[in-house]
Structure 1
Amino acid sequence: MRAFILTGPGEYTVDEVPSPEPAPGEVVVDVERVGVCGTDVEFFTGEMAYLRQGHAAYPMRLGHEWAGTVRATGAGVDAGWLGRRVTGDTMLGDGTCHRCRRGRQHLCAARQEVGIRGGRAGALAERLAVPAASLRALPDGVDAELGALVEPGGNALRVAQAAAVGPGERALVLGPGTIGSLAALFLRAAGAEVHLLGPSEEALGFVRGLGFDRAWTEATLPDLPFDAVVDATNAVRLPALALDLVEPGGRLAYIGLAGEPSHVDTRTLVLKDVTAVGVLSASPALDATIAAYASGAVDPRPLVAATVGLDEVGPVLSGKRPRGAGAGPKVHVDPRLGE
C-alpha cells in the first residue's frame, strides 16, 4: 500500500510499504479521510516535544484524525465489525494501570498514540491497523469527512464542557483555529453567547462566516464580563490574559500548548475564585461528538478547506495552502486520491 512517511524534520517520502495484517484484538481499516493537525506540523518541523522525550522517533507515519471502513479483523475480534464505517480513539492505554482501570486510558503513562507516540503507525496510508477496542462506529449521516472531524471535535467538546456555560452566560474563545472554532460551535449549541479573540481581522474572517459576529482583536475587544474563557492558542502569554479577562467566580479552560512555559499568577486565580481546567485528548467525548454531528446540533464541515492526496501532504505540512482551498483551517487527506 502507499503511505506518507516522515523521515526527519522537513523530510518525507510517499512509498509502497507492506500492508498491515490485523494482530489479535485488532482490525485493519481502509482509510477514507485523514485530518492534518497542528501536532503533525510540529513533527514535520521537529519541534514536537515527544521527539526530545523519547516517546516518538523518525521514521514515522502521521495521522490521528481519521475515518474509514473495516476490511479485516484479527483473532478475538467480533466479525460484525467487517464492512462497518468507523473512526477510532487516538489514545491507546495499556489497559492494566491505575489510570486505565479508572477509565482514563488517555492519561496512561505507557500509552501509545496513533500516528504520534510509541511507534503506533498513523492513518496517512491506504490502510491502518488499530485495536478493535478503540473503534467508534459511525452512524448514517456521519460520513468519512465528518468522521475524520470527530477527534478534533472531541477535544473541542471537552473544552466547551469544561467552560460549563449555557443560556444567559457569556464565553470568550481565544484562537479562531480548528479547535477554537469547534469549541465555539459547541458553546453556541449549548446556548451560550460566544465571543472569539483572534490575532488580526483577517484571521477572524472565517469564524465570522460561521455566524460569530462577536469576533474581536485585542484592540477591539469590548469590556464585558466573561463567565468563561477558553484558551485554544499556542501563544505563551494568552493563558495569563485569559485569567485577566474571566469574571470572578468564572471558569478557565485550557487546551492550547505554547512552545515554552506559560505563567499564570495563582494569586489572581485565588483572589478571583476562578476554576481552571486543563484538557488533554478527545477520548472521553468521542461518542458525544459523533451524536452531535449525527443530530446536526454541530456542523463542522465548513472547517475543511480542501481534500488532497498523499502526494500533497508534504507541501501542506510545510505551510502551503492547496490550490482552490476554502477559508477553513483544516485540510483533509484522502489516501485513495492519485492512485
Structure 2
Amino acid sequence: MGNATVRAFVIAGPGRAEVRDAPAPVPGPGEAVVDVERCGVCGTDAEFFSGEMTYLHTGEAVYPMRIGHEWAGVVSAAGSDVDGSWVGRRVTGDTMLGCGRCTRCVGGRQHLCAERHEIGIRRGWPGALATRLPVPVRALHELPVDPPVDAELGALVEPGANAVRAVRAALPAERLLVVGPGTIGLLCALFAAAEGVEVHLLGLTPSSLEFARSLGFPAWTAAELPALPFDAVIDASNAPSLPARAVALVEPGGRVVLIGIAGEPSVVDSRSLVLKDVTAVGVLSGSGGLAGAIERYASGAVDPRPLVAATVGLDEVADVLAGRRRPEWGAAPKIHVDPRR
C-alpha cells in the first residue's frame, strides 16, 4: 500500500464493518494530517455499530461511517497556510469542529454550533480508527514531552476532558457520588479525588464495582448505598431512571451533573429540583476541558492508565464493538486501538 491510501475501520451498516483501504487525507487550508498512534472506542462507537445511535435516525450521521474520536498521534503534514512547526508534534484534539463564524463559535461554544462536524460522529468527518486523520489545526492540542504525555495517555484526553467538565460543574463539594462506574464515571472519580473530594460510586455489576474498589473508591449497589449526605451527584450512566435518582440522592442546595445519555427519555420531576433548590447541569463533550485533562495527566495528579484493559488492532474492533471481550482483559472498561497493527 502506498501513501495514497490509509487503512480504516468502516461501518457499512448495523452489525456490518470491515477494514478497508481509503483515500489518504490531504491537508486543506487550516488543516493538519495526523498519523494515529492510539484511538479509544466507547459506547457511542458501539451504538453506531449496533445502529442505535440517535444521529443515525436524525440524519446527522449516515453509513458508511468511519468512527473514532478519542485519539493521539503525530502530525505528519500541514496545509500550506499552517505553521510547519506542527509537523512532528504529538497531539490530540477536540472532537467538536464548529463553523467558526456563528455566535456560538465566536463566543467560545463551538461544541454547540448547529453546523458543527464531530470527528468520527457527525456530518461525515472521518474518524481516528484509521492510520491517518485530517484535523483543523485550531482543534489540536500538543501533548507535553517533559513530563511526557504519551500516545496512550493522549488517547485518554478526550474522555478525561468530559470528566474535567463534569467535575468542574459538580464543585464545590466535599462528598460526591458518581453514578455509573464506566470509563467516564471512573475518570470523574479520579479527577474529583485529585481535587480533594471524597468520592463514592454507585453501580450494578459486581465486576465493575470491584474494579472501582481496586482504584481505591468506595463502590456500592443501590441496596448497599449508605445514607450519606452527597453535596453533588454526577450521573454518568445510560439508565433512564437514574437522573431522577441523582436528584433524590443529592443534598438540598447541591448540584446534579448529567453527562450520561440514556437510549430513551429520562424523566425528572422539576418540582424536586425547585423544592430542593438543586442546580442541574448538562455536559456535552470535552470541549473546554482538554487542556485541564492534559495538565492533570502530565503532572501525575491523575493516572488513567489502569482503565485501559488492552490495545488491539483494527481487525479486532468489530468484536470489541459487539461486546466480545477476551477473559484475560479483566474488568477495566477501556479498549484502545493501534491502527498501525
Does the TM-score normalized on the shorter chain lie above 0.5? Answer: yes
In the comparison of the two structures, how many residue pairs are matched? 334
Does 2:191 align with 1:186? yes
Rounded to whole Å, the distance in 2 between the matches of 1:80 and 1:94 is: 25
* Residue in structure 1 matched with residue 55 of structure 2 by the alignment: 50
SS state of the match for residue 288, structure 2?
helix
The alpha-carbon distance between structure 1 residues 23 and 311, as it changes in their structure 2 partners (threshold 3 A), is same
2:151 alignment partner, one of 126, 141, 144: 144
Counterpart code for 1:165: P
Rounded to whole Å, the distance in 1 between the matches of 2:322 and 2:288 is: 31
* Residue in structure 2 matched with residue 234 of structure 1 by the alignment: 238
Counterpart code for 2:338: D
Deviation of 1:277 after TM superposition, in Å, equals: 0.4
Q: Is the 8 A contact 2:253 2:277 kept in 1?
A: yes
* Residue in structure 2 matched with residue 99 of structure 1 by the alignment: 104
* Residue in structure 2 matched with residue 155 of structure 1 by the alignment: 162
Rounded to whole Å, the distance in 2 between the matches of 1:325 and 1:79 is: 40
SS state of the match for residue 134, structure 2?
strand
Q: Is the 8 A contact 1:34 1:332 kept in 2?
A: yes
Matches within 5 A, 1:30-109: 30-109=35-114
When the two chains are superposed, the root-mean-square deviation of aligned CA atoms in Å is 0.8
Rounded to whole Å, the distance in 2 between the matches of 1:289 and 1:128 is: 22
Q: Is the 8 A contact 1:92 1:113 kept in 2?
A: yes
* Residue in structure 1 matched with residue 179 of structure 2 by the alignment: 174
* Residue in structure 1 matched with residue 283 of structure 2 by the alignment: 279
Rounded to whole Å, the distance in 1 between the matches of 2:39 and 2:340 is: 11
Unaligned runs of 5+ in 1: none
Rounded to whole Å, the distance in 1 between the matches of 2:298 and 2:207 is: 31
Deviation of 1:323 after TM superposition, in Å, equals: 5.8
Does 2:226 align with 1:219? no
SS state of the match for residue 328, structure 2?
coil
Deviation of 1:327 after TM superposition, in Å, equals: 2.5
Rounded to whole Å, the distance in 1 between the matches of 2:24 and 2:199 is: 46
Counterpart code for 1:270: V
Deviation of 1:75 after TM superposition, in Å, equals: 1.8
* Residue in structure 2 matched with residue 288 of structure 1 by the alignment: 292
Deviation of 1:200 after TM superposition, in Å, equals: 3.0
* Residue in structure 2 matched with residue 258 of structure 1 by the alignment: 262
Deviations 1:187-217 (A, max 9, x none): 10111110100013332011111111x2100
Rounded to whole Å, the distance in 1 between the matches of 2:64 and 2:199 is: 42
TM-score, with structure 2 as normaliser: 0.97
SS state of the match for residue 292, structure 2?
helix
Deviations 1:139-196 (A, max 9, x none): 0210000000000000011101111135xx1110000000000000011011111010
Rounded to whole Å, the distance in 2 between the matches of 1:19 and 1:97 is: 30
Unaligned runs of 5+ in 2: 1-5
Q: Is the 8 A contact 2:94 2:139 kept in 1?
A: yes
Rounded to whole Å, the distance in 2 between the matches of 1:330 and 1:139 is: 23
Rounded to whole Å, the distance in 2 between the matches of 1:97 and 1:159 is: 25
Rounded to whole Å, the distance in 2 between the matches of 1:289 and 1:266 is: 33
Rounded to whole Å, the distance in 2 between the matches of 1:135 and 1:322 is: 34
Structure 1's consecutive aligned runs of 4 or more residues displaced over 6 angstroms after TM superposition are none
Q: Percent identity?
A: 66
Rounded to whole Å, the distance in 2 between the matches of 1:174 and 1:323 is: 25
Does 2:240 align with 1:204? no
Q: Is the 8 A contact 2:256 2:278 kept in 1?
A: yes
Rounded to whole Å, the distance in 1 between the matches of 2:271 and 2:51 is: 36
